[in-house]
Structure 1
Amino acid sequence: MCHLVIYIMPFLEVIRMNTLIDYCMKKEHLNRVVISTFDHDYTVQDIEQLNNEFLDMLGPTSDLTGKRVALLVPQTLAYISLVFVINKLGGTVIPLSPQHREGDLSAILSSASPHMIFTIKHLNGMPYSDVMKEWIRGNNAECTLFESEEGMDWKRTDFEGKQAVKDTFDRHFILFTSGSTGVPKGVVMGQEVIIHHMGIIPRLINGQEGDRYLHIPPQTVAFGLVGILCAIHLGYRVAIPNQFDLPKIMNMMNRVGVQKVVSTPSILKGMYNLSKAIDPLVFQNIKECYLAGEMVNPGEVNEFTLMEKTKFIGVYGITEAGGIMTCDLRGELEWDVDEVYQFKVVEEELFLKSPAIFTCYYNQLGMTKEVLQEDGWFQTGDLAYLTPEHKVVIQGRKKDVIKKGGQQVIPGEVEKTLENYKSVKQAAVIGAPHSVYGEQVVAYIVAEQDVNTKELYHYCANKIAAYKVPDHIELIDEIPMTSGKTDKNTLRKRFKNKEKTLKK
């Protein structure tokens, strides 16, 4: 059975600009502060100046058309300027998260085969430059590597080797997420799609000139990147934490005069609990709070007693389609879809159609065809139904992706890491409810011999990002199976029963 709703409204009109710089940078906003960090405020003019410096560094006539450029640059001003410059020169931007570890990065680099890489040398003990060089040499890749301590002064090294194939498109973005088996998926979207997203996001978060946001979404994901571009384009201000340091975030909120918050529920809880102890006024003054990245339980926002007058709005989005819909978190969790999307429910799965939908998965034609139909309908993988008022109610996920603290964890990737450990014969990973992070990662393993779980935790921490490391590891005699597949429902029940027993 198919339920279809089409808004009879014009799609977002996008004027095809030459570059993102042409679209985003407005003369009337040149002196306006649009980005704040713990210790710096940046105007549009600051961004423009750094754009020119990076253009001079690369050479104003450099042609990056068809070339892929990877960015591992945590410093926000440098990162956003490099995005602008690479786009201007015709290149495709590949953002890389500083949360990635060696295994994650190597898999993404092998999938993307970048022609050029910008990376900081090291962060939190991770030698990113060395990881990049090892990948380049190990793959005999022709690649230009730029290294920097903080993102401002760059050292260039040109490596000779096998030349990577150029793409037939230009001025695109490839945003990597984990595939269902842990293999990276590169979500490809053109400049026009990004500009569509820049029309949608301000509607979802009520973004207006002069607003001051605490902006938590990572700048390497679509929501985070587009949020910064919107601030530059529309003239509002985003306060972006340099790192997850709660006292410094509180100080920055006070300094900037934050009125609105965009966050995940788990990070909001951490900030709120600290604020209650040291500075309750920080959150009492918040007018609007937008929560995304994790599911929120009905009535959960009522726990924020200092924010009784705050408007709480849920924002639902996925990388392939951007920000899609919102709901009032103080009421029923029924979602209003943005005007730019057509939507329908087919066999209990939510489908979307819009100019804001991604183009394809990079070099993954088969995977693209599984979710993107020839007529443009995108299968989200979320189970849903429509109310009589044509609102969307999300019931669950078709696949077993774990969403922990706003980050996506693919069980198959964690299982593979565990099974590569010398004493582990088989592993199964599930998501289980968590009061702070939304979900936690629980691993069940069958061992060939005695396993020291502390050593296994340490092993995982060195192989995958910290948020992917199992929160609980339990040894069992055998993995339950059904129809030839791991019976994860049985494992979920097992964990739930154990939790109940421990609480007695």
Structure 2
Amino acid sequence: MIPNWLMQRVYLTPNKIALSYEKESWTFKQLHQVSMRYARQLKTNQLQSGDRIALLGASNVEMVFMIHACLLAGIEIVMLNNRLTDLEIDWQIEDAEVKAVLFADEFEAKIKSNKMDKISFSTVTQSRESPFGIEENWSPDQTVTIMYTSGTTGFPKGVRQTVNNHTSSALSSVLNLGLEENDVWLCTMPLFHISGFSILVRSVLYGMEVRLYEKFDAKKVAREIYEGTITRMSVVSVMLNQILLELERQEKTAHASFKTMLAGGGSIPIDYLKRANACRIPILQTYGMTETSSQTATLSANDALRKIGSAGKPLFFNQIKIKGATRAKEHGEVFIRGPHVTPGYIGRFQENSPLIDGWLPTGDIGYLDEEGYLYIVDRRSDLIISGGENIYPAEIENVLAAHPKVHEVGVCGKEHPKWGQTPVAFVVVSEKVEAEELMKYCEGQLAKYKVPSDIIFIESLPRNASNKLLRRELKQWLSQQ
């Protein structure tokens, strides 16, 4: 059994600061009190232990309270990405077969489906409180969260994350990073992502303050770093660059108390690492995915320049192997094993086991060097990573292919100086159509970051003998333009 995270933390350090947002702060005791009130109000709205709900909100304090309220009440949370279109959100809601959708009032228009109850945050907070019996201990295999990740088929997969998955991930991370009494983790990552949610988990397990931002602001973050009000944070490459530009503009360096910049979502350019070193920011590159509840491997700051391009070594409880590799630097698919790995999916993929003989095949191609450091050669070769967001070409292709004037389409990633990559669509049309019309068509069905930055009209797509689309040739075409 694993103790109820927030209840155990309140018992241990009730008066320690748990959360700060703008100019307000809450101790763990206060966080527990507000979250318990919300949990009792959820009970009044017919939500109880064992129910599965979808949660749609912003990365603010109200969202944190709702998350903890659901955890305290034993409710499974399907974390919805508020950047998705209403069509994408409805697909996930219906695939998850949730009892209700719990949403921040400003997102009501995004929920079109009428197949489940809809409960706004304001409805909850204005409800009376109903008592319920709280579970002081959790089963390790109890599902806590479900997060959708894009699938190679173009259909998102609902990934289950258990109590043990999240707990193991947090413990592995602290064994690698260490922990000090004054640690404050700045969270500018979306709470619906594993990167943001995992920070909340670390907070209650470590007794660590989370400094929460609703949206990333490079100027404010830079000030926090050089003034010493935070000690750690998580970023993707595009965020790191904006922070560095701000520090360089002001000719500032990180405060001596700043310990960790955990960088994920793709490799970090060498130039960024050197600039970060000049700004005295320790960069720890990391590799993980939704199926592994955040980090699997992390490169230490001391190795950042010695092992350029590496994602580091697996964390304490985790194992990594390269399928079929018999020697160092031999390329193959990255396989992962450990207590942080998901036990499975929900919805249309629930019958598909994510594991092969206990190992998770990631679809990423990489290798281990002579010292056991992991290098990722391709992140699921076709995957496009734009500003830290994962985009699968098949999802965009499925949308564009449904346009009445499109015959066929292929999508690949194009290098972008700010976002890392953006999607580009190669389109074969059945009748004349303007690129602007296709862009607008995509905007109605895809999140903004998934909409192609360019649409290129061609006569035919490159395919092999079995008629499989050759996206690597699309990439070559882009490089020749």
Regarding TM over 0.5, the answer is: yes
Match of 1:21 in 2: 6
1:130 aligns with 2:109: yes
Does residue 380 of the first structure (1) align with residue 362 of the second (2)? yes
Check whether the contact 1:384–1:395 (CA below 8 A) recurs between aligned residues.
yes
Q: One-letter code of the match for 1:113?
A: E
Deviates more, 1:187-196 or 1:357-366: 357-366
Within the candidate set 345, 350, 353, 2:334 is matched to 350
Q: Is the 8 A contact 1:294 1:405 kept in 2?
A: no
1:79-105 residue CA offsets vs partner (Å, 9 max, x unmatched): 233223323333211111211111210
Greater Cα shift, 172-181 or 229-238: 229-238
Q: Distance in 2 between matches of 1:68 and 1:255?
A: 42
SS of corresponding position for 1:266: helix
One-letter identity of the residue aligned with 2:110: V
Query: Aligned residue for 2:480?
Result: 497
2:235 matched to which residue of 1? 263
**Distance in 2 (alpha carbons) for counterparts of 1:114 and 1:366:** 15
1:215-242 C-alpha deviation (Å, 9 max, x unpaired): 2332112231121221233232232221
Query: Which residue number corresponds to residue 420 of structure 1?
Result: 402
Candidates 435, 448, 451, aligned match of 1:469: 451
When the two chains are superposed, the root-mean-square deviation of aligned CA atoms in Å is: 2.7
Deviations 1:361-400 (A, max 9, x none): 113457733x412x31111112122222222222223441
Question: Is this contact kept in 2: 1:65–1:170, CA < 8 A?
Answer: no
Q: Which residue of 1 aligns with 2:104?
A: 120
Question: How far is 1:359 from its partner?
Answer: 0.9
Which residue of 1 is the match for residue 75 of structure 2?
A: 91
Q: Is the 8 A contact 1:38 1:242 kept in 2?
A: no
In structure 2, distance between residues paired with 1:99 and 1:205: 31
Is the aligned partner of 1:317 residue 2:288?
yes
Per the TM alignment, residue 34 of structure 1 is displaced from its structure 2 partner at its CA by 2.8
1:450 deviation in Å? 2.8
Of 379, 385, 399, the residue aligned with 1:403 is 385
Distance 1:462 1:306, change over 3 A: farther
CA distance in 2, matches of 1:245, 1:300: 18
Range 388-397 or range 337-346, more displaced: 388-397
1:411-490 aligned within 5 A: 411-483=393-465, 484-490=467-473
Greater Cα shift, 459-468 or 488-497: 459-468
Does structure 1 conserve the Cα–Cα contact (< 8 Å) formed by 2:85 and 2:447?
yes
Aligned position for 2:22: 38
Pick closer, same or farther for the CA change 1:47–1:400 going to 2, 3 Å: same
Sort the Cα spacing of 1:80 and 1:315 in 2 relative to 1 into closer, same or farther, 3 A: same
For residue 360 of structure 1, report the CA deviation from its aligned partner. Answer: 0.4
Distance 1:319 1:87, change over 3 A: same
Aligned to 1:331: 306
Query: What is the CA–CA distance in structure 1 between the aligned matches of 2:350 and 2:72, rounded to whole Å?
Result: 31
- Structure 1 spans left out of the alignment, 5+ residues: 1-14, 123-127, 157-168, 499-504
Structure 2's unaligned 5+ residue stretches are 129-140, 325-331
- Measure, in 1, the Cα distance between the counterparts of 2:126 and 2:80: 17
- Closer, same or farther in 2 for the Cα pair 1:251/1:284, shift >3 Å? closer
* C-alpha displacement of 1:489: 1.4
In structure 2, distance between residues paired with 1:441 and 1:379: 25
| Alpha-carbon contact 1:284-1:306 (below 8 Å) kept | no
SS across alignment from 2:180 = coil
Residue 38 of structure 1, CA deviation: 3.4
- TM-score, L = length of structure 2: 0.86
Q: Tell whether 2:157 aligns with 1:185.
A: yes
| 1:359-370 matched pairs, under 5 angstroms | 359-364=343-348, 368-369=352-353
Tell me the distance in 2 between the aligned counterparts of 1:91 and 1:289. Answer: 32
Q: Secondary structure at the match of 1:34?
A: strand
Q: Structure 1 284/435 Cα, relative in aligned 2: closer, same or farther at 3 Å?
A: farther
